[in-house]
Amino acid sequence: MRRAEIDGVTVFQRDLPGVLGASLTFGCGTRDEELDSIGLNHLVHHLLERADPYIAEKYANDTWVNETSFVAAGTPEQVAEHFTTLCSTISHLPPTDLSDAVADVDADDRDVSDIDEGVLDPWGSLLARRFGPRGHGLARWPAVDYRLFTADEIRQHVGRFFTSGNAVLTATAEAPPAMRLLLPAGPRADHDTRLAHHQSGAVWYADEVHGVALVVGSAPSVEALLLMSALKSRVDPAVQRAGIAPFAELMSEVVDGTRHELGIRISPTRARRFDAAAAAELLWAELRRLVHDGLGPADMANLEATRTAAVPPALVPTYDALAWMRPIGKLESAAHRELFGTTEHYLTDPLTEPDGLSPAAARDIMSGWLSSAMIVVPHGSRPDLPGVTHASCPSTRFVPAGDVVRPALRKRFGNKGSLVISIDAISTVDSEGNVHTVPLSQALVVERDDALWLAHVGHGCVTTISDFAHAADKLRSVLPARRIRRASET
């Protein structure tokens, strides 16, 4: 692979068969936003799509948690003009008709970290708990209403992240001489990857989530992902036998060159009675068994089958339609390592261990998994998890002074609690008198149809306050407009 530079942008070139393909990757995504600017990176992406600077016949673009990328393939002339025009458009954002440009965009139309249910997703809860209201922890929360963003904010975001120093171009042949990458000048972006809540030993907590999830911190490697896949292969039949769920999901987040977050998510289905406590107990038991006993012959057979599995017939049409992107994808890891010092791993990647995944290597990789483990369950669940500390959000018996809101009349039979709106906090009081207080500086209210949730972004937790939906106007009066969010309905 050859390294070059075009207009201050690092370029990696590797001769591969087929038409010329290229990818321009920026080291910015959802994790580079702020709590009150969630969605800003996606808005920049939308403004580019609206400007339609795309020339090549084959192209795609995405914005994710860590990166924003633009891919194209075609003749050298097409590819050169495609990226030249794209960079010119970036340099001239925002458009003069900004209010018209944001009028038709859905702020929740974002692909973030495979999070399907927004605020109620257990994986999003774990990220919010671990990272707090920054970085990966932002992935749980809905976007700000795009109409609230100003032209200056967009201009500053572009000037900080969509720069020549924060971009890498990869190409499957020599980059065309006519290609110009005239982006705003700027350095490589820094990313805050600190954990907000440090822990010594495994913990579990309850939150307003649909499902159960487990996360561990692990040094980045293909082998670590394979070991977590081995855990999934053990959990799948266990939850099926128990009638809890049809399968578990493998989860992974790229953090930095020293740490990736790996885990398992178990989601309820409408056809099954979901026993969250049993799901959490199975997860923990199987993780302990894998760490203590290591990989057995059945695990190795499952891993080999996973690494060599054919594309499912239902996915073949999609797989074939994206065939033009696969040569460019072979260069993806080079761009990621240049921008982040690490890259996403896949189950089919070559092993880094020269002798394969030996029992000794597996033990070394998993040595810190039990102490870094965190498990989330829905409110009301009390799993029996030996060696795991209960660490749900603290509550008190002290009810602050303020405007006391009772449940709507039709809800009072089942809810004897209250909502207290103070000058500096919002508190929920449950039927037993337990008080959970959220400072206004840490409060976020999320609405979806008739549902209403109160989030403590510092803790990463959510409380349902739908029985107090008639107090929405009062909540809006004490919170800034950007702290009232509309969640996706999907």
What pLDDT, in 10s, does the model give residues 419-429? 999 999 999 99
Instruction: State if pTM tops 0.75.
Output: yes
Each residue of 455-464: pLDDT tens digit? 999 999 999 9
DSSP symbol at 480 = -
Taking residues 83-104, what's their average pLDDT?
A: 93
Residue 351 above 80 pLDDT?
yes
Q: What is the pLDDT of residue 112?
A: 54
Of 19-33, 110-124, 260-274, which gets the smallest average pLDDT?
Answer: 110-124
Any bridge partners for residue 63, and if so which? 68
The answer to whether 172 and 328 are in contact (CB under 8 A) is yes
What is d(CA 257, CA 384) in angstroms, rounded to the nearest whole number? Answer: 34
The answer to whether 485 and 422 are in contact (CB under 8 A) is no
What is d(CA 214, CA 287) in angstroms, rounded to the nearest whole number? Answer: 10
Amino acid letter for position 126: L
Q: How confident is the model at residue 111 (pLDDT cuts 50, 70, 90)?
A: low
What is d(CA 73, CA 328) in angstroms, rounded to the nearest whole number? Answer: 9
Q: How confident is the model at residue 117 (pLDDT cuts 50, 70, 90)?
A: low
If one compares 377 and 490, the residue with the highest pLDDT of the two is: 377
Of 284-293, 342-351, 380-389, which gets the smallest average pLDDT?
Answer: 342-351
The answer to whether 299 and 230 are in contact (CB under 8 A) is yes
Q: What is the pLDDT of residue 300?
A: 87
Q: What is the pLDDT of residue 115?
A: 43
Q: What is the pLDDT of residue 116?
A: 47
11 CB burial (10 A radius; 0-12, 13-18, 19+) = buried
Of 19-33, 107-121, 132-146, which gets the smallest average pLDDT?
Answer: 107-121
Q: Which residues of 63-87 are buried (b: 16+ CB within 10 A; e: fewer)?
A: bbbbbbbbbbbbebebbbbbbbbbb
Residue 142 above 60 pLDDT?
yes
Residue 126 above 50 pLDDT?
yes
**What is 154-213 written as a DSSP string?**
HHHHHHHHSSGGGEEEEESSPPPTT----PPP-PPPP-----SS--SS-EEEEES-SSEE
The answer to whether 432 and 446 are in contact (CB under 8 A) is no
What's the mean pLDDT when you consider all of the chain? 92
Each residue of 22-76: pLDDT tens digit? 999 999 999 999 999 999 999 999 999 999 899 998 999 988 899 999 999 999 9
* Cα-based angle 435, 447, 206 (whole degrees, multiple of 5): 40
If one compares 328 and 303, the residue with the highest pLDDT of the two is: 328
Strand-by-strand arrangement of the 403-405 sheet: 403-405, 418-421, 425-429, 435-439
3-state secondary structure of 394: coil
Q: What is the pLDDT of residue 286?
A: 97
Each residue of 219-241: pLDDT tens digit? 999 999 999 999 999 999 999 99
Q: What is the pLDDT of residue 414?
A: 67
If one compares 199 and 32, the residue with the highest pLDDT of the two is: 32
